[in-house]
């Protein structure tokens, strides 16, 4: 704050007290007061009170109006509009303060790359505008509404369809960029994942027919992270994969391996691409009526255990490179309405991470492992359910479903240890929600928990953990200092 004090306009008049002592009339304070800015770094600036003009920050509503005007009446290069859109998204979507060069951070790099595209694309411009409107709406930082964001989203979607039909126009990068923006907007404005899944299929098809994929443009390479995550999340939530999608994920992995942004997060994605195929194979076994109890043996889980070992080794490598604790516990500072009927919080402690980058890596790692462990439990219960259990067993009680405790491996000795680890990971994910929803982490913080929240709900629903399920359903209603409340995220459909 500026430390400003009135300065005597006349050297003869020292102050009201001195005038009173001299028994003279003081006229100095009848004049306009002059202030001297005593703020360090600007100690000599003198301002007249009548001419003071304090800086006025422009509201997000004004930012949106300026963006709308540029979209409706384009003036100048398109990069001008796109960079202004990036400025708004940097304030709301990205963490605060954002990294000095967000292009160097794999979690965010796709967004500035999108805004650097120079090609004409009404679809991309309208998608960016809709994304901006959505961010203002969900953060309640302006008068924009989610309905307005949806209207802009639908408009951009129509323009995208038109540009895809004109695929020969040479705007492949702009089309991929538009899909990246729209699929991100859908996380905040669409209740279900219908359009989101269609986008993942569209990306897969574009990558399939695109020529010269072995030597993509630098801009296209920068989209790899966002595209990889989109394809992977579709396959994980669908619990099965089209071979083309996984092929594209591997293609993108090969592109990223020679890129400076291929960090531990991409190492995790490389291994995670094996998981959808594993889930699909496990589900086929679970659905098979010919799998009889005498076939029960640890070999049924060999593929799952191999993938889990790779995931854990990847995490250990990341932790060793970091050289410091990735997270630690702190008292929870938020309240969940689901806890009100009880005498204590379900999660009295929360997890604090050293950065949002770390949180994105760890939370995704936990969620993927939890999904694999749950698929192992489902297969285990399927094998035992037909003949080894009584008709009165409780499907929600894992103790009733343990059956023969055959050894698995050193990390997961028995199926009981699998369930214990799953419970632990589910709790850790819940405890990470508070950090991810901090206002300082922007809306990308909640965004990156979308898949993890879906895994949590599926897990708690599977074992009839009603209190935990209610807690997850009320994340959007949680309140606390610095907590971003009211964020409704797109839900994956249970397959």
DSSP 273: T
Give the residue with greater pLDDT, 251 vs 34: 251
Comparing 104-113, 319-328, 373-382, 401-410, the range with the smallest average pLDDT is 401-410
Point out the least confidently predicted range of 173-182, 239-248, 373-382. 239-248
> Given this model, what pLDDT does residue 265 score?
86
Which of 234, 135, 189 is CA-nearest to residue 489? 189
Question: Residues 458-480: pLDDT tens digits?
Answer: 999 999 999 999 999 999 999 99
CA distance 201 to 245: 8
**3-class DSSP state of 492:** coil
Mean pLDDT of 37-48: 37
For residue 387, count other CB atoms closer than 10 A to its CB: 9
pTM for this predicted structure: 0.82
Condensed to tens digits (0 to 9), the pLDDT of residues 354-383 reads: 999 899 999 999 999 999 999 999 888 887
Instruction: Give me the DSSP letters along 91-160.
Output: HHTS-SSPPTTGGG-TTTTHHHHHHH--S--HHHHHHHHHHHHHHHHHHTSSS--HHHHHHHHHHHHHHH
Residue 231: per-residue pLDDT: 87
Closest by Cα among 133, 139, 148, 112 to 61: 133
Lowest mean pLDDT among 63-67, 252-256, 308-312, 355-359: 252-256
Indicate if the pLDDT at residue 285 is higher than 50: yes
Considering only CA atoms, which of 228, 192, 146 is closest in space to residue 489?
192
- Averaged confidence pLDDT in the chain: 80
CA 300 to chain centroid, in Å, comes to 34
Please give the full DSSP string across 333-369, using - where no structure is assigned: --B-GGGTTSSS-S--EEEEES-HHHHHHHHHHHHHH
Measured CA to CA, the distance from residue 200 to residue 237 in angstroms comes to 12
Q: What is the pLDDT of residue 413?
A: 87
Query: With contact defined as beta carbons under 8 Å apart, do 135 and 63 qualify?
Result: no
More confident residue, 210 or 183: 183
Per-residue confidence at 395, pLDDT binned at 50, 70, 90? very low
Sheet hosting strand 4-7, strand order edge to edge = 4-7, 34-37, 46-48
Tokens for 31? 């004049």
pLDDT at 212: 47
Q: What is the mean pLDDT of residues 279-289?
A: 84
In angstroms, rounded to a whole number, what is the distance separating the alpha carbons of residues 261 and 106?
A: 6
* Per-residue pLDDT at 313: 94
Give the C-alpha distances (Å, rounded to integers) separating 368 from 178, 235, 304, 357. 28, 12, 12, 17
CA triple 442-446-447, angle to 5 deg: 95
Residue of higher predicted confidence among 244 and 108: 108
Taking 90 as the threshold, does the pLDDT of residue 347 lie above it? yes
Specify the pLDDT at position 120.
87
SS3 35: strand
Question: Which pair of structure tokens corresponds to residue 391?
Answer: 């008709």
């Amino acid at each position: 704050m500026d430390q400003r004090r009135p300065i005597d306009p006349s050297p003869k008049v020292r102050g009201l007290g001195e005038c009173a002592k001299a028994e003279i009339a003081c006229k100095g304070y009848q004049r306009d007061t002059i202030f001297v800015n005593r703020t360090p770094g600007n100690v000599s600036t003198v301002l007249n009170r009548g001419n003071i003009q304090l800086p006025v920050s422009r509201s997000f509503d004004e930012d949106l109006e300026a963006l709308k005007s540029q979209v409706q009446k384009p003036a100048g290069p398109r990069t001008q509009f796109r960079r202004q859109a990036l400025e708004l998204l940097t304030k709301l979507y990205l963490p605060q303060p954002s990294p000095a060069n967000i292009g160097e951070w794999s979690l965010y790099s796709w967004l500035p790359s999108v805004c650097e595209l120079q090609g004409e694309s009404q679809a991309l411009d309208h998608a960016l505008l809709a994304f901006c409107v959505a961010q203002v709406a969900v953060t309640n930082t302006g008068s924009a509404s989610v309905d307005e964001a949806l209207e802009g989203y639908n408009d951009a979607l129509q323009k995208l369809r038109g540009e895809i039909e004109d695929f020969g126009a040479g705007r492949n990068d702009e089309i991929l960029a538009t899909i990246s923006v729209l699929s991100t907007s859908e996380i905040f404005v669409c209740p279900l994942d219908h359009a989101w899944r269609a986008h993942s299929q569209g990306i897969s098809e574009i990558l399939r027919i695109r020529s010269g994929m072995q030597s993509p443009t630098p801009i296209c390479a920068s989209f790899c992270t966002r595209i990889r995550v989109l394809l992977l999340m579709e396959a994980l939530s669908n619990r099965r994969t089209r071979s083309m999608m996984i092929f594209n994920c591997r293609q993108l992995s090969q592109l990223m391996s020679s890129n400076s942004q291929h960090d531990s997060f991409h190492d995790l994605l490389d291994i995670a691409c094996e998981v959808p195929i594993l889930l699909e194979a496990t589900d086929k076994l679970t659905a098979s009526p010919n799998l009889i109890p005498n076939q029960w043996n640890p070999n049924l889980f060999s593929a799952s255990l191999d993938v889990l070992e790779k995931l854990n080794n990847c995490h250990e490598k990341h932790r060793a490179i970091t050289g410091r604790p990735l997270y630690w516990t702190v008292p929870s500072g938020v309240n969940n309405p689901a806890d009100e009927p009880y005498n204590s919080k379900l999660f009295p402690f929360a997890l604090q991470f050293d950065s949002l980058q770390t949180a994105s890596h760890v939370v995704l790692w936990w969620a993927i492992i939890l999904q694999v462990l749950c698929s192992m439990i489902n297969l285990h219960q399927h094998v035992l359910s037909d003949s080894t259990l009584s008709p009165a067993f409780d499907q929600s009680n894992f103790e009733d479903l343990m059956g023969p405790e055959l050894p698995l491996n050193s990390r997961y000795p028995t199926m009981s240890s699998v369930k214990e680890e799953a419970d632990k990971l589910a709790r850790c994910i819940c405890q990470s929600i508070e950090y991810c929803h901090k206002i300082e982490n922007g809306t990308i913080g909640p965004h990156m928990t979308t898949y993890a929240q879906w895994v949590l709900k599926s897990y708690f629903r599977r074992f009839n953990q009603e209190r935990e399920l209610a807690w997850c359903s009320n994340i959007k209603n949680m309140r606390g200092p610095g907590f971003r409340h009211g964020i409704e995220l797109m839900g994956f459909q249970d397959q």
